[in-house]
Amino acid sequence: MIPASHRRLIVLYAIVAALLISLGGRLWYLQVMNGQSYVRLAVQDQTQTVITPAVRGQILDDAGLPMVDNASSLVVTVNMMNLAAQSDGGTGVLHRLAHLLGMSDKLLTEKVRLCNAQVTQPCWPGSPYQPIPVADHVPDSIAVQIMQDHAQYPGVSAGVNPVARYPQPNGANPAQVLGYLGPITAQQMKQQHLPTTGFSGVDLVGQAGLEQQYNQALQGTPGQQVLSVNSAGQQLGVIRNTAPTTGNDLVTSINARLQGDVQNVLSSTIRKAQLQGNTHATTGAAIVMTTGGRVVAMASAPSYNPSVWTGGISQKQYRQLVGKATGVPILNRVTQGEYAPGSTFKITSTAAAVKAGYSLSGTYNCPASYNVAGHNFLNDGQKSLGQMSMHEALVISCDTVFYELAYGIYQHDHTRDNVVVSPKAPMQEMQKMEVAWGFGRAPGIDLPEQGAGSIPTREWLYYLWKGNAHTGQNWCKYGRANGTYVQQIEYQDCHYGNVWEPGMAAIAAIGQGYVAVTPLQLANAYAALANGGRLYSPRIGEAIISPTGQVVQKVKPPLIRRLPVAGSTLAYIRDALAGVTTGAGTAAGAFSGFPRSKVCVAGKTGTAEVFNSSVTSVFASFAPCTNPKYVVVVMIPNSNYGAEVAAPAARQIYDDIYGLEGHKAALPGGNLPRGLPKISSSGSITAPAGYGGS
């Protein structure tokens, strides 16, 4: 019989033997079976890739004047991997650097901390191995101090890097059009097939405007440095270095001189409206287009200085750009602002009426009010002006004529579908015409930010009712038949909110109610009217040119469609709009004394009421009347009548285009530069023929 102590010893030996066999098997598995994979991983751990940013291409005006270029700047960067090796984790170095740069410890810490799911901007979205830029345009004295005093500033460097610059030629600052640059995001890396390891946030990419739209052409090709690092992440040397290649330049159709003039006109018009008692008039939009779909000037107010993005934007600055209290300066109101167009919309209503069988040679009554299904709709000014032609109705802008036209079309327009029970209900005839002119759809301009506006179709009404009857605003829950005014409206909307009513059709015909358009859509529609019916997708970019001066690509406004309107009808409308600025026309006062013999301006005023408390002043126009080349649209919310605010502003813009009434011509003779600017391999730019600016 084996003693108990021996049995325990045998069991212990067995356990030890089993452990040794298990350990040996594990070692064999790691070294023999998976040895090569661990060798590869070890090699990967010993190298890191750092991206060297390419010099970004310029954005130029139509004559080659830079609106965005690159300037050499002393940039201070911090290598956080080096600072992490400090005994205090680099806190002391960052404190001394913040004091040297004149910024707070908090701001510098925010700039160098890594972004993740818990850490939001401001933070560093790039690789931890990439030197992080914390200040640009640094004075030479500070750069020298950093380079000489390595002991005080380990891991901190100062070197020359290209930095985006905004020269604002002739005062041109289309900030919202140009867009801005920001560090690459993970989504953009995937979409653009860019490196996903160690990509440099110094190599900024377009995050809005033309910078984003044409980013691939502008950004060039980044270089790469493959670094040797040890297990602690410290750099040991450079294994491979590939130089970056410069990006292409973008020539736009923006004319810098006219752009600066339009900005000034817009700003002064808003200030004047405020002085006249319209204290809420703080925003506005103005655009100049060719009738072929090219944007020559685009101004949105309030604006901002785009250099605020250079070197990293603070949280306070970002709040100012997107805050309602400051007017949301980052918003491009030409492409994103959506406003009721008022009577400028009557061009589509006229076209719809003619298609429905109403005669251009007929006469129409203009009473002080018109009854639509038991509701009186008033003429502006509540004046009865008697019988008139369609031409006169456009010239003097008689609302009741268009109420009658809209109601007549409504009564014969799929009336069984006016109780909308499906999103597939047919579109109303008048709204078909509005959509055909480009409203209710994004115009497809070469900017990532653009609104579609709103055209109240039966489908639109269905989704509005479905989204708010029992959810959203929950009309059925809060509505009361005998409650407050708002509760009564909610009660009506609950029970009848899916009914396309005649009053809705009537008010939409004069560009009010639920109708909303962007200034760009309105300008594009007037361009189609002026050019005989061709609706283009507008373009700002004109050509992409390589650093050696070769034309890589010409950009042309693509044709969307031809309007479903006879040429004779368009000519009739154009002729009527030529009368708006003379005689009894609604814009005659605004254009009194204008040198019509030199340049004839045709247009339409619009005054769109908002909640019966404020109005949007609108003027949409083209010139010259008989051979239109340019379209000008001005919209000023919370101001006054179109004839009082927007029309005088448009007059000044035409003065600036042609050099009338003491103004210097931005486009002498009304002509754009002929051809493209020439860019030499050395970077010098020669303006094209016919350029009259400076």
pLDDT of residue 133: 83
Q: Cis omega (within 30 of 0) on the bond before 174?
A: no
Count of CB atoms within 10 A of residue 124's CB? 23
Q: What is the mean pLDDT of residues 64-69?
A: 95
Element (H, E) at 282: none
From CA 511, how far away is CA 345, in angstroms rounded? 5
Asked whether residue 500 carries a pLDDT value surpassing 70, the answer given is yes
Q: What is the mean pLDDT of residues 193-203?
A: 46
Residue 676's identity, in one-letter code, is: L
Residue 227's identity, in one-letter code, is: L
C-beta of residue 217 within 8 angstroms of C-beta of residue 192:
no
Angle (CA) 512 513 514, round 5°: 110
Q: Determine the distance from the C-alpha atom of residue 642 to the mean position of all C-alpha atoms in its chain, rounded to a whole number.
A: 25
For residue 444, give the 3-state DSSP assignment: coil
In this structure, of 397-406, 487-496, 565-574, 635-644, the range with the lowest mean pLDDT score is 487-496
Count of CB atoms within 10 A of residue 400's CB? 28
Asked whether residue 478 carries a pLDDT value surpassing 60, the answer given is yes
Label residue 611 by pLDDT band (50, 70, 90). Answer: low
Please give the radius of gyration of the chain, using alpha carbons only, rounded to the nearest integer: 33
pLDDT of residue 409: 97
pLDDT of residue 573: 98
Asked whether residue 225 carries a pLDDT value surpassing 80, the answer given is no
Higher pLDDT, 30 or 381: 381
For the record, the structure tokens of 230 come out as: 């040890």
Q: What is the mean pLDDT of residues 81-101?
A: 89
Label residue 87 by pLDDT band (50, 70, 90). Answer: confident
C-beta of residue 359 within 8 angstroms of C-beta of residue 375:
no
Label residue 201 by pLDDT band (50, 70, 90). Answer: very low
pLDDT of residue 381: 76
pLDDT digits (tens, 9 = 90+) for 514-544: 999 999 999 999 999 999 999 999 999 999 9
pLDDT digits (tens, 9 = 90+) for 394-447: 999 999 999 999 999 999 999 999 999 999 999 999 999 999 999 999 999 999
Closest CA to 204 of 226, 178, 222, 225: 222
Element (H, E) at 177: helix 175-178
pLDDT digits (tens, 9 = 90+) for 3-22: 656 666 676 666 766 677 77
Range list for CATH 3.40.710.10 in the chain = 256-307+334-339+519-664
Range list for CATH 3.90.1310.10 in the chain = 48-252
Strand partners, 636: 617
Is the domain spanning 256-307+334-339+519-664 CATH 3.40.710.10? The answer is yes
Length of the chain equals 694
Label residue 116 by pLDDT band (50, 70, 90). Answer: confident
Q: What is the mean pLDDT of residues 454-458?
A: 96
Asked whether residue 660 carries a pLDDT value surpassing 80, the answer given is yes
- Looking at domain 48-252, its CATH superfamily turns out to be Penicillin-binding protein 2a (Domain 2) (3.90.1310.10)
Q: If you write DSSP's letter for every residue of 88-155 in order, what string do you get?
A: TTTHHHHHHHHHHHT--HHHHHHHHSBP-SS--SSSB-S-TTSPEEEE-S--HHHHHHHHH-TTTSTT
